[in-house]
Structure formats: C-alpha cells, structure tokens
C-alpha cells in the first residue's frame, strides 16, 4: 500500500500576466512549479476578478486547463471541496473580500502581508480562522531569510550577551520622494492599505521583532514632508499629480521587557524615510548592541530584507568589545532556494514550513493570522494620532 502523502491542492488568487505588481507570478508561482513545490503542492484553481481573467491567467502561465478550475466569484471558490489551501497575492484591499468566504468554509489560507487593509478586517479574518480550526500563513517572509535566522541564532548563543539597544535606519521605497509609477498610485491613498507604513516599515518592524522579541511598549512619530506626488508612466512622463495622505517619514521608539535575550527596558530606535538614502550611504543599517558586542546588518541597495538585492546582498558583522575584532558572519541560501528567483526564495520557505507542520500536525513555525493581527494592532496604535 502506498504511503505517499497527497499533494496540497492550491487555489491561487491574483495570478495575472498584466497586473502592475505581479507578486503571485514572481514570488509564488516559481516555487509552486519548482521540483520542491510540485512534490508537495498542486495548483487546482485560480480566482481572479472574472472567470475570463482567471482563464487568461491560466493560459498565459501554461497551467493545464483540464485540472485548473477558474473562478470569478469568491463564494464559488469557497464551495469547491477540491481545494485545501487558498493563496491570496492580490492588492491588499482585495484580500478580505476574496479570502473570507473560503476561511469561513474551513479552508486553510496563505495571505500576503498586510493581511487586510485595516486592523478591523484583519481581526475578522483571524477570528474566522481560529473559529474554524483552520491553519493560516501570512506573508511576513522576512523571518525566513537565512541571515535573519542567523541573527536570531547569534543572539540565542549569547554572542553579544543580552541586548541593550537596537537601532534601525533606512531610506527608500520605490526610489523617489515625490514620484510614483502610475500603476502604483494607490500607495499615496491610506485607505487602500498598501504603502510605506504598512509594507516598507511593517515588514522591517516584524523582522526586528522576530529576531529580538515582541516589544513591550512602542510609540510612533509620523510626518508627511512631500504631500504632492507625481504619477509617471513607463516612459517617465508625468500623467497626474495627486496629494498623498500617507506618512513619508517614520520615527518609532520602543522598549523590550526583560527576557532571555534582552535586558529590562532595552530600547529600539527606528527611522525610515520614503526617499533614497544620502549618496554613499546604504539603504538600510541595523545594529543590535549587547553587553559583550554589537551586531551590524548593512543592506546596500534595498530596505526589503525579505529579499535583499542580488548585486549587493546584506552584510552581517559582529564587533567583539573585549578584543576589538570585527568578524564578518557568512550566510547563504540553501540549494533549492538558490535555484528560485529572489522574490520566491523566502515565500518558498513559508510553503515548505506550512507543508511540514500540516503533515506533522504541529503548531505553526511561521507567522499565522494571529501574528498578523498583532502587527496590525501595533500599527493601528502607532498611527492613532496621525493626521496628514
């Protein structure tokens, strides 16, 4: 009798060959169609804005018509008993509406971060998953980066003693202070839910807390320095000027409680701006100061530690206070991840963890909807007094 584990049947929401941000195509599909992905997963359905759009995506990406069902209605997908896991990689304001029915039907769900366009809708999704006993994954994939896991291990090994403070300083989000690609104009509209705060800052903020621990207290100071933004087309021509209501300069400070990794009242200072860094400076520098030494992470070209930049990957170093020595800590991608495009490597790791934990009946070893809700609530608290 065969003991082969059945493959997990996936419905992919938001796969498009024409979308401005094709995250489903660049980060999810490469893993799902890789040898590692095919061993554990099978794409059986697509959900788009219409059946026709889903059918067009199926054809564009050469998915088999005989085994890939197409949907334009979230309720119809929810009623499909041949789907185990719904995966949502649409624009954030579509997450709630496309996923809720499937979650209420008891299906497992993998939703990209942010989980929803605001904390109230994220709470409803998290409560629905908990109520139905389903498993959930949220795309806070920075936690899966090899050097981020190495950072956590260095702290757990006591290489710098207990953490006393940490500082994050970054600049950059789409590369400009005042211009935005036409198709991404929604990042200037706070109610859509996808912008510098909820994407650029929140991914980093979660990564820091996944390494050092959840903050005991936190407060924010937000500013909008360049409210007038120009939308530019592919040729670089200005097609429209819009007024942003999203902060473009973020200051956050917080404190950690005493733990195995941190001293009581260990501090965090975080600064992130929308524009490019000062010439010659890295896009991101993150230091963690401990009793015995200091760790420094430098990302030369991007604030997105979940991916890095293939031409200038993050550099990880440790300064030993006693000896004065600075050691470069080596890290690398596992072979199966190195074979994937950069956006798919940490997303692929989330899929691998989900499949492993589901098969073992183990607790989630990744960020689930409950973690996402905690991050949404932190953001909601930080922004409570923000006025554009």
Residue pLDDT, tens place only, 330-375: 999 999 999 999 999 999 999 999 999 998 877 788 999 999 999 9
pLDDT of 35-47, one tens digit each? 999 999 999 999 9
Same domain for 32 and 132: yes
The pairing of beta strand 179-181 with beta strand 217-223: unpaired
Give the residue among 134, 133, 97 at the shortest CA–CA distance from 115: 97
Same domain for 173 and 102: no
Q: Rounded to an integer, what distance in angstroms lies between the CA atom of residue 294 and that of residue 232?
A: 42
Same domain for 224 and 299: yes
Residue 327 — pLDDT band, cuts 50, 70, 90? very high
Who contacts 216 (Cβ-Cβ below 8 Å, separation ≥6)?
254, 255, 256, 257
CATH label of the domain that carries residue 215: 3.30.360.10
Check whether 309 has a pLDDT greater than 90: no
Same domain for 110 and 55: yes
Percent of the chain residues past pLDDT 90, beyond the cut: 89
pLDDT of 236-245, one tens digit each? 899 999 999 9
Q: Which domain holds residue 232?
A: 144-332
- The backbone torsions φ and ψ at residue 45, rounded to the nearest 5 degrees and listed phi first, read -155, 155
Q: Is residue 379 in a domain?
A: no
Check whether 1 has a pLDDT greater than 50: no
Q: Rounded to an integer, what distance in angstroms lies between the CA atom of residue 335 and that of residue 122?
A: 35
Give the residue among 269, 184, 272 at the shortest CA–CA distance from 223: 272
Same domain for 296 and 171: yes
Residue 306 — pLDDT band, cuts 50, 70, 90? confident
Same domain for 181 and 273: yes
For the chain, the C-alpha Rg in angstroms (whole number) is: 21
pLDDT of residue 3: 53
User: How many C-beta neighbours within 10 Å does residue 287 have?
Assistant: 17
pLDDT of residue 20: 59
pLDDT of residue 118: 96
Tokens of 219: 């407060």
Tokens of 116: 């929803």
Q: Rounded to an integer, what distance in angstroms lies between the CA atom of residue 232 and that of residue 76?
A: 38
């Amino acid at each position: 009798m065969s003991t082969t584990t059945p493959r997990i049947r996936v419905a992919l929401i938001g796969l498009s060959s024409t979308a401005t941000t094709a995250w489903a195509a660049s980060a999810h599909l490469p893993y799902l169609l890789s040898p590692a992905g095919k061993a554990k997963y099978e794409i059986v359905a697509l959900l788009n804005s219409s059946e026709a759009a889903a059918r067009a995506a199926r054809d564009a990406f050469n998915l088999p018509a005989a085994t890939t069902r197409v949907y334009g209605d979230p309720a119809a997908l929810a009623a499909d008993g041949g789907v185990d896991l719904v995966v949502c990689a649409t624009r954030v304001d579509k997450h709630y509406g496309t996923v809720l029915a499937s979650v209420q039907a008891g299906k497992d769900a993998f939703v990209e971060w942010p989980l929803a366009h605001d904390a109230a809708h994220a709470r409803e999704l998290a409560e629905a998953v908990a109520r139905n006993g389903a498993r959930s994954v949220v795309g806070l994939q920075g936690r899966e980066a090899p050097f981020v896991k190495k950072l956590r291990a260095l702290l757990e090994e006591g290489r710098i003693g207990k953490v006393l403070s940490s500082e994050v300083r970054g600049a950059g989000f789409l590369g400009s202070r005042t211009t935005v690609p036409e198709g991404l104009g929604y990042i200037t509209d706070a109610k859509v839910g996808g912008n510098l705060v909820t994407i650029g800052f929140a991914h980093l903020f979660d990564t820091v807390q996944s390494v050092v621990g959840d903050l005991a207290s936190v407060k924010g100071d937000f500013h909008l320095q360049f409210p007038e933004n120009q939308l530019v087309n592919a040729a670089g021509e200005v097609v429209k000027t819009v007024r942003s209501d999203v902060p473009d300069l973020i200051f956050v400070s917080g404190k950690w409680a005493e733990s195995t990794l941190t001293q009581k009242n260990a501090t965090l200072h975080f600064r992130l701006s929308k524009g490019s860094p000062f010439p010659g400076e890295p896009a991101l520098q993150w230091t963690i100061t401990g009793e015995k030494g200091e760790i420094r992470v430098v990302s030369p070209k991007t604030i997105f530690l979940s991916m890095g930049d293939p031409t200038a990957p993050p550099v990880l170093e440790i300064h030993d206070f006693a000896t004065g020595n600075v050691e470069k800590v080596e890290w690398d991608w596992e072979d199966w991840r190195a074979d994937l495009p950069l956006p798919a490597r940490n997303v692929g790791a989330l899929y691998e963890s989900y499949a492993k934990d589901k098969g073992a009946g183990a607790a989630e070893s990744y960020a689930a909807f409950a973690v996402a809700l905690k991050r949404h609530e932190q953001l909601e608290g930080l922004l409570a007094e923000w006025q554009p």
